[in-house]
């Protein structure tokens, strides 16, 4: 009988402790880098496990089961049980911690045969262990066009049994309104993303109502596909993110009243252009803003709004945040309490609009607190314009296509906490300025906590 005890290898124990220290200090930061989403947290449940338990695991991996020459076979068996028992409990704890993490998010990808095999395995696992279904909070479905009818039926049946879903993402697939309406039975569903989804087929027996707080829709490339969204009731919707196809206003296809939400609840509207449409979008945008007249945040990524387009003064009076082209800033922000402005110059506007930057950076009725300018020409006295017109700035980000001046300013920015200056041509400060670089930075970022030149 071998005599391998816990105290036979001090060097290995020290190595285990050093490895443990690295795990407890390095691993959390690596997890943060791997997942920068707001929902991630740097301290997972595993970090809270005592170091003594970690050392037991390392000891077991290095030395095996504890043995002793005292007490004969009975003593050996008792020592073995005493050693393995806490390790068994630890493994159960690991299992308890890891299982929800493993099934919190499930990914279903039908684009390849290996992906379809994984889908079958996942369905089999969820069917054999029903308690796992309550752990699923996020579902990601991609390219279900390529799944077989039999697999698709099993998948739909399994999804309908996941009552704990909070976040549902469907990309590139066919789904009928009747099938979509079945997710009403998921009481915790808050986020729904439909990307290039053909929402057609048989209609639901009743008008679907969802407790969604976030809805993102990118139809399958045809304006007529938008008409099915008119049957969705969204009384708790806070953020609506849609493609500009909903604004085209083609007869018989959509009438701009494509969403039924509560104007008092909706706070953010995002309109993007994924496919270039040749129809006018201004009437559709105006009608949508009339329905969403109480939003606080508006993000527009549109290329087809005509020059000189403006909205009525009484629309979106409570707007606090705007993101869009520089030539649209004054049209949407003028006279409104905008505190957060993120704007950019396109190639066609960068030359003619740069001289209007002083008016752009104070478009509303209150001073800006957050300002981001992209694609601008950095010219003489531009920093003076920013500091004099935006004395209340908390954060400033500038990305210039050409730098023709320095960052020095005579004005003080006492509230500035974050400043970022980027140039598409390379470093903002050239080598010949390096000698006085610190002095010039200090003039701009005095009391600024984070600075990135």
More confident residue, 308 or 260: 260
pLDDT at 37: 42
Joined tokens for residue 386: 């920013």
Confidence of residue 65 (pLDDT cuts 50, 70, 90): low
What is the DSSP secondary-structure string of 325-355? Answer: EHHHHHHHHTTS---EEEEE--TTTHHHHGG
Confidence of residue 135 (pLDDT cuts 50, 70, 90): very high
Domain map of the chain by residue range? 6-101, 347-453
CA–centroid distance for 46 within its chain:
25
pLDDT at 124: 92
Please state, for a pLDDT cut of 90, what percent of the chain lies above it: 19
Confidence of residue 239 (pLDDT cuts 50, 70, 90): very high
Element containing residue 219 per DSSP (H, E): strand 214-219
- pLDDT tens-digit map of 149-181: 788 788 888 888 888 999 999 888 777 777 777
Joined tokens for residue 306: 């005509």
pLDDT for 423 beyond 70: yes
- For residues 123 and 161, give the distance between their C-alpha atoms in angstroms, rounded to a whole number: 11
pLDDT at 70: 64
pLDDT for 191 beyond 90: yes
Using an 8 Å Cβ cutoff, are 388 and 412 in contact?
no
- For residues 116 and 317, give the distance between their C-alpha atoms in angstroms, rounded to a whole number: 50
Mean pLDDT within 316-332: 91
Confidence of residue 299 (pLDDT cuts 50, 70, 90): very high
Match 């906590």 to its residue by tokens: 449
pLDDT at 438: 47
Mean pLDDT within 77-93: 73
Mean pLDDT of the chain: 74
DSSP conformation class of 361:
T
Of the listed ranges 233-237, 294-298, 318-322, 324-328, the one predicted with least confidence: 324-328
The number of beta carbons lying within 10 Å of the beta carbon of residue 103 is 20
């Amino acid at each position: 009988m071998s005599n391998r005890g816990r105290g036979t290898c001090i060097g290995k124990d020290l190595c285990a402790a050093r490895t443990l220290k690295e795990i407890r200090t390095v691993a959390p930061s690596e997890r943060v880098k791997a997942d920068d989403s707001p929902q991630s947290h740097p301290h997972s449940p595993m970090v809270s496990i005592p170091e003594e338990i970690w050392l037991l695991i390392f000891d077991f991996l290095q030395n095996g089961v504890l043995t002793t020459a005292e007490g004969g076979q009975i003593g050996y068996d008792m020592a073995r049980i005493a050693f393995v028992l806490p390790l068994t409990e630890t493994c159960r704890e690991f299992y308890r911690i890891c299982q929800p993490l493993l099934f919190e998010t499930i990914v279903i990808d039908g684009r390849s045969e290996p992906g379809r095999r994984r889908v079958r395995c996942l369905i089999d696992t969820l069917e054999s262990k029903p308690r796992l279904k309550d752990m699923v909070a996020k579902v990601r479905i991609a390219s279900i066009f390529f799944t077989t009818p039999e697999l698709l039926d099993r998948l739909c049946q399994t999804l309908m049994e996941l009552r704990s879903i909070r976040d549902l993402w469907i990309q590139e697939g066919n789904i009928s309104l009747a099938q979509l309406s079945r997710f009403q039975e998921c009481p915790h569903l808050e986020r729904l993303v439909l990307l290039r989804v053909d929402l057609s087929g048989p209609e639901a027996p009743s008008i679907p109502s969802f407790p969604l707080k976030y809805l993102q829709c990118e139809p399958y490339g045809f304006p007529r596909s938008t008409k099915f969204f008119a049957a969705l009731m969204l009384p708790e919707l806070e953020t609506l993110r849609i493609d500009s196809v909903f604004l085209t206003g083609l007869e018989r296809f959509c009438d701009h009243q494509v969403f039924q939400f509560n104007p008092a609840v909706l706070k953010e509207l995002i309109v993007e252009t994924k496919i270039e449409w040749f129809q006018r979008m201004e009437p559709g945008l105006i009608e949508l803003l009339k329905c969403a007249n109480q939003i606080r945040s508006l993000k527009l990524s549109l290329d087809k709004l005509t020059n000189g387009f403006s909205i009525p003064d009484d629309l979106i009076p409570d707007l606090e945040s705007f993101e869009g082209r520089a030539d649209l800033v004054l049209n949407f922000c003028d006279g409104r309490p905008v505190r957060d402005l993120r704007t950019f110059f396109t190639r066609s506007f960068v030359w003619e609009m740069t001289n209007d930057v002083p008016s752009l950076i104070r478009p509303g009725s209150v001073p800006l607190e957050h300002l981001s300018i992209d694609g601008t020409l950095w010219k003489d006295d531009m920093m003076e314009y920013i500091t004099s017109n935006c004395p209340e700035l908390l954060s400033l980000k500038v990305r210039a296509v050409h730098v023709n001046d320095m960052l020095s300013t005579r004005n003080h920015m006492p509230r500035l906490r974050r400043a970022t200056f980027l140039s598409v041509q390379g470093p903002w400060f050239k080598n010949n300025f390096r000698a006085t670089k610190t002095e010039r930075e200090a003039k701009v970022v005095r009391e600024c906590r984070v600075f990135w030149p």
